[in-house]
C-alpha cells in the first residue's frame, strides 16, 4: 500500500478519535455540559467580556457587573489592585486566541436575541471549541516536528494519538479547556517546529515564524520563555546552533524577528501601560519562586500531584534519553539540560503543585518537545520490546482516562491527594467515592509570623466565657483532662469561638487561620461527614463569607484512638460590614464521635 495512503488513514484515525472524545466528554459523560469557563480559566477569559462587552480594561467594572462575578469577600484570586485599577495577573494570550470564536458567539447572540453577557452557553462552547481547534493545531505541528527527525509517519501519528489519550493533555483539551495548557502546548510546539526547521533548512521565514511563536508562548504564560533553552537541542548540533545559518541571513532578518516577537507581545504591553502607566509589571504580587528550595522529588513522584505518578507515560523519557545519547551526545546533553532546568524552575514555584488541576499541569505545555526522544525510542524498539511498550502505553492510557474521570467527578481531590487517598480511590468510579476526600492546609507564599496574635483553645474542662457553649461537655476518657464533647444526631455543632473584628483587623488580607481538634471514633468513619467551619458574619449574623474543610482527609478503618485533625487557610480581606469570624465544627452527617482540645490560632502572613 502506498505510504501516502497509510499516512492518510492514520490521520483520519487521529481526527476521528479526537472528535469522538470531544463529543463523548461533553455530551456523554457530562450530559451536555453547560460550563467550561471556570477556575484559572475565568482569569484568562476575563479580557474578552471586559473589553468587548463592558468596554473597559479596569476589571473593577467587570467584577461588579459580570454574571461570573464574586461578592467582595470572594474576590477572584487572579485580580489585584495597582494604581487604583484592578489588574488581571494572567496575561491576555489565551483571550487573544479565543477571540475569533468569542466574537462569533457574540455576533450570533446579538442577532438571535440570546444573552450577550459573555457567559451563556454559546460563549461557554466557544471556549470548548477554541481548545479543540488549538489541540488540532498543536498536533499538526507536533507531527511536523517529529517528521523532521525522520520518524516514519505511522510512528509520528501513533505518538500524536498517544499524547492525547495517555497524558493529562486529554484533561486540559476536553475537560478544562479554559486553562492555559492546550494553548501553550500549541504555541510551544509551533516554536519548536519552526526553530527546528530554521536550523536544519535555513529558511528565513521559519525564523520569523519562530519569533511569532515565541511571542505567543510568552503572551500565554510568561514562564514558558524557558523553551528558548531547547534551541540548542532543536538545532541538532553545535555548528547550526552557533549561527552559521543566521550569519547567512544577515542582521536584517534578526531585527525583523525581534520586531515580530515584540509586536506579538504588544497587546499585553499596551494593556498594562493603559492600566498602570508602565508596560512592565510583576503580575504575581505575593507569589514567587523558592529557587534555593526546589521540591523536585515531590514534583515528580508525590501522590499529591507527582508528574510520573499521574502521567506514567512520561517515564518513557528515560529510555528515550538512552536512545538520544546513542544518537548524539550533543543533542542528549542539550535536551537533558533543558529538561532539568524546566523541572528545577517549575518545582521551585511557591505552590509547587500548582493548586487545582489534574496531574502536574505546567509540564503539559512542553509535551511536544518531550515526545521527540520518546518517538525515537518507539521507532528503534525491536518487535519484542514493542509488545512490552504497547502494553505499558495501553495501561498508562487506561489509567489516564480513568483518573481524568475521577478528577472531574470529585473522586480525586483537586489539590490534596495523599498516599492513603490515592490508593483508597484507585480506579474507583462509583458515585459513592465522590467528594469524600478532605483538603490539606492552604499554601501561602512567604512565611507566617513565629507566634500567633490570637491563640485560643477549649479543653472542655471548664467554662470559657469567650466561647459559645451550646450543650454540656461529657465526662469520660478524654484526650486531656476528664471532659470531652460528644457530637451525634441531636448535637451537631461543637462549641464555637467568635473572633470579634476590631479596627486593627479591618481591611487586612494578611491573616492565616489554623484550626485544630482531637477526635475519637468508636465506629469506623463516624466523623467522616464532620467539617471545620469558618463563617464571617455581619452584625445581624448573616453570613458574608463561608469556608468549610473536612476533619478527615480520607476514610479509614482506625477506631478507638485519639487523632489530631488540623486545617489552615487564608482569611479574606475583612470589610467594615464584618462583625465576627465564627469558628466551629459541624457534624454534618450526624455521626457519633467525640472531640477534645479545640484550638484556633491566627497568624500574620509575613511579606518578603
pLDDT over 70 at 347, yes or no = yes
Q: What distance in Å separates the CA atoms of residue 427 and residue 405, rounded to the nearest whole number?
A: 10
Facing residues of 531 across strands?
Answer: 550, 586
Residue 458 parent element (H or E): strand 454-458
Domain(s) of CATH 2.60.120.260: residues in the chain: 447-606
Which pLDDT belongs to residue 11? 79
Is residue 483 a contact partner of residue 460, using CB atoms and an 8 Å limit?
Answer: yes
pLDDT tens for residues 294-309? 999 999 999 999 999 9
Q: What distance in Å separates the CA atoms of residue 514 and residue 470, rounded to the nearest whole number?
A: 22
Q: CA 555: distance to chain centroid?
A: 26
- Between 541 and 77, residue with greater pLDDT: 541
SS3 label, residue 317: helix
The per-residue pLDDT of the chain, averaged, comes to 92
Percent of the chain with pLDDT over 70: 94
Residues 123, 125, 126, 128: is their CA dihedral positive or negative?
positive
Which pLDDT belongs to residue 69? 54
Quick one: average pLDDT of 149-170?
95
Quick one: average pLDDT of 227-236?
95
Quick one: average pLDDT of 449-460?
96
pLDDT over 60 at 364, yes or no = yes
Match domain 447-606 to its CATH number in 2.60.40.740, 3.20.20.70, 2.60.120.260, 3.30.70.100: 2.60.120.260
Which pLDDT belongs to residue 404? 96
Which pLDDT belongs to residue 281? 85
Q: What distance in Å separates the CA atoms of residue 480 and residue 462, rounded to the nearest whole number?
A: 13
Which pLDDT belongs to residue 10? 72
Q: Which of 407, 381, 384 is nearest to 155 (CA)?
A: 381
Q: What distance in Å separates the CA atoms of residue 450 and residue 603, rounded to the nearest whole number?
A: 8
Which pLDDT belongs to residue 1? 41
Which pLDDT belongs to residue 85? 85
- Between 38 and 77, residue with greater pLDDT: 38
Q: Is 337 exposed, middle or buried (0-12, 13-18, 19+ CB in 10 A)?
A: middle
Which pLDDT belongs to residue 84? 81
Is residue 62 a contact partner of residue 46, using CB atoms and an 8 Å limit?
Answer: yes
Q: Which of 35, 40, 33 is nearest to 356 (CA)?
A: 40
Facing residues of 580 across strands?
Answer: 500, 537
Please state the pTM of the whole predicted model: 0.94
Band (240; pLDDT cuts 50, 70, 90): low
Which pLDDT belongs to residue 3? 46
Out of 91-100, 224-233, 570-579, least confident range: 570-579
Q: What distance in Å separates the CA atoms of residue 285 and residue 91, rounded to the nearest whole number?
A: 14
pLDDT tens for residues 478-507? 999 999 999 999 999 999 999 999 999 998
SS3 label, residue 464: coil
Quick one: average pLDDT of 278-282?
87
Which pLDDT belongs to residue 277? 85
The DSSP bridge pattern shows strands 483-487 and 474-475 to be antiparallel
Percent of the chain with pLDDT over 90: 80
Q: Which of 46, 164, 30 is nearest to 96 (CA)?
A: 46
Which pLDDT belongs to residue 324? 96
CB-based contacts of 290, cutoff 8 Å, min separation 6: 348, 349, 350
- What the block records as the C-alpha cell of 354 is 500548582
Q: What distance in Å separates the CA atoms of residue 517 and residue 564, rounded to the nearest whole number?
A: 6
- Between 146 and 443, residue with greater pLDDT: 146
Facing residues of 545 across strands?
Answer: 536
pLDDT tens for residues 2-58? 445 556 777 788 889 999 999 988 887 655 678 899 889 999 999 999 999 988 888
- What the block records as the C-alpha cell of 355 is 493548586
Quick one: average pLDDT of 376-384?
94
> DSSP label at 243?
T
Q: CA 113: distance to chain centroid?
A: 35
pLDDT over 50 at 125, yes or no = yes
Is residue 262 a contact partner of residue 222, using CB atoms and an 8 Å limit?
Answer: no
pLDDT tens for residues 507-564? 898 999 999 999 999 999 999 999 999 999 999 999 999 999 999 999 999 999 999 9
Amino acid at each position: 500500500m502506498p505510504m501516502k495512503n497509510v499516512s492518510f488513514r492514520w490521520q483520519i484515525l487521529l481526527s476521528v478519535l479526537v472528535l469522538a472524545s470531544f463529543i463523548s466528554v461533553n455530551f456523554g459523560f457530562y450530559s451536555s455540559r453547560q460550563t467550561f469557563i471556570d477556575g484559572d480559566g475565568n482569569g484568562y477569559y476575563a479580557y474578552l467580556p471586559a473589553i468587548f462587552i463592558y468596554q473597559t480594561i479596569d476589571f473593577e467594572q467587570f467584577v461588579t457587573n459580570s454574571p461570573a462575578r464574586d461578592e467582595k469577600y470572594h474576590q477572584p484570586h487572579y485580580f489585584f489592585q495597582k494604581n487604583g485599577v484592578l489588574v488581571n495577573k494572567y496575561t491576555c494570550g489565551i483571550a487573544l486566541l479565543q477571540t475569533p470564536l468569542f466574537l462569533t458567539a457574540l455576533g450570533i447572540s446579538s442577532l438571535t436575541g440570546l444573552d450577550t453577557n459573555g457567559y451563556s452557553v454559546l460563549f461557554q462552547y466557544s471556549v470548548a471549541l477554541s481548545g479543540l481547534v488549538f489541540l488540532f493545531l498543536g498536533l499538526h505541528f507536533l507531527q511536523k516536528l517529529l517528521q523532521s527527525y525522520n520518524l516514519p509517519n505511522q510512528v509520528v501519528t501513533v505518538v500524536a494519538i498517544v499524547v492525547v489519550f495517555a497524558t493529562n493533555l486529554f484533561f486540559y483539551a476536553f475537560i478544562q479547556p479554559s486553562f492555559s495548557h492546550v494553548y501553550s502546548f500549541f504555541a510551544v510546539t509551533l516554536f519548536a517546529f519552526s526553530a527546528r526547521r530554521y536550523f536544519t533548512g535555513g529558511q528565513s521565514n521559519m525564523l520569523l515564524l519562530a519569533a511569532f511563536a515565541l511571542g505567543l508562548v510568552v503572551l500565554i504564560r510568561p514562564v514558558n520563555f524557558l523553551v528558548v533553552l531547547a534551541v540548542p537541542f532543536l538545532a541538532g548540533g553545535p555548528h547550526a546552533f552557533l549561527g552559521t545559518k543566521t550569519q547567512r541571513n544577515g542582521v536584517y532578518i534578526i531585527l525583523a524577528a525581534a520586531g515580530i516577537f515584540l509586536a506579538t507581545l504588544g497587546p499585553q504591553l499596551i494593556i498594562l501601560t493603559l492600566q498602570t502607566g508602565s508596560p512592565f509589571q510583576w503580575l504575581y504580587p505575593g507569589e514567587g519562586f523558592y529557587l534555593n528550595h526546589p521540591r523536585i522529588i515531590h514534583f515528580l513522584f508525590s501522590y499529591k500531584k507527582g508528574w510520573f505518578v499521574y502521567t506514567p507515560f512520561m517515564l518513557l523519557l528515560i529510555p528515550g534519553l538512552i536512545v538520544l545519547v546513542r544518537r548524539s551526545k550533543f543533542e542528549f546533553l542539550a535536551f537533558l539540560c533543558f529538561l532539568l532546568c524546566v523541572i528545577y524552575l517549575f518545582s521551585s514555584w511557591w505552590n509547587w503543585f500548582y493548586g487545582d488541576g489534574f496531574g502536574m499541569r505546567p509540564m503539559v505545555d512542553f509535551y511536544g518537545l518531550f515526545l521527540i526522544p520518546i518517538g525515537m525510542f518507539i521507532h528503534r524498539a525491536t518487535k519484542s520490546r514493542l509488545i512490552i511498550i504497547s502494553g505499558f502505553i495501553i495501561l498508562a492510557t487506561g489509567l489516564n482516562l480513568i483518573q481524568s474521570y475521577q478528577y472531574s467527578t470529585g473522586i480525586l481531590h483537586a489539590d490534596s491527594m495523599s498516599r492513603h487517598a490515592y490508593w483508597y480511590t484507585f480506579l474507583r468510579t462509583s458515585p459513592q467515592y465522590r467528594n469524600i476526600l478532605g483538603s490539606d492546609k492552604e499554601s501561602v507564599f512567604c512565611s507566617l509570623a513565629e507566634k500567633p496574635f490570637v491563640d485560643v483553645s477549649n479543653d472542655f474542662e471548664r467554662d470559657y466565657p469567650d466561647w459559645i457553649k451550646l450543650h454540656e461537655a461529657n465526662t469520660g476518657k478524654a484526650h486531656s483532662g476528664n471532659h470531652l464533647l460528644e457530637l451525634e444526631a441531636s448535637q451537631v455543632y461543637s462549641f464555637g469561638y467568635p473572633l470579634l473584628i476590631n479596627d486593627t483587623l479591618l481591611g487586612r488580607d494578611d491573616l492565616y487561620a489554623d484550626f485544630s481538634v482531637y477526635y475519637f471514633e468508636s465506629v469506623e468513619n463516624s466523623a467522616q461527614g464532620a467539617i471545620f467551619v469558618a463563617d464571617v458574619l455581619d452584625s445581624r449574623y448573616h453570613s458574608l463569607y463561608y469556608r468549610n474543610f473536612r476533619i478527615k482527609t480520607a476514610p479509614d478503618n482506625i477506631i478507638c484512638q485519639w487523632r489530631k485533625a488540623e486545617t489552615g487557610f487564608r482569611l479574606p480581606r475583612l470589610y467594615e460590614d464584618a462583625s465576627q469570624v465564627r469558628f466551629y465544627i459541624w457534624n454534618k452527617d450526624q455521626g457519633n464521635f467525640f472531640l477534645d482540645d479545640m484550638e484556633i490560632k491566627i497568624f500574620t502572613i509575613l511579606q518578603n
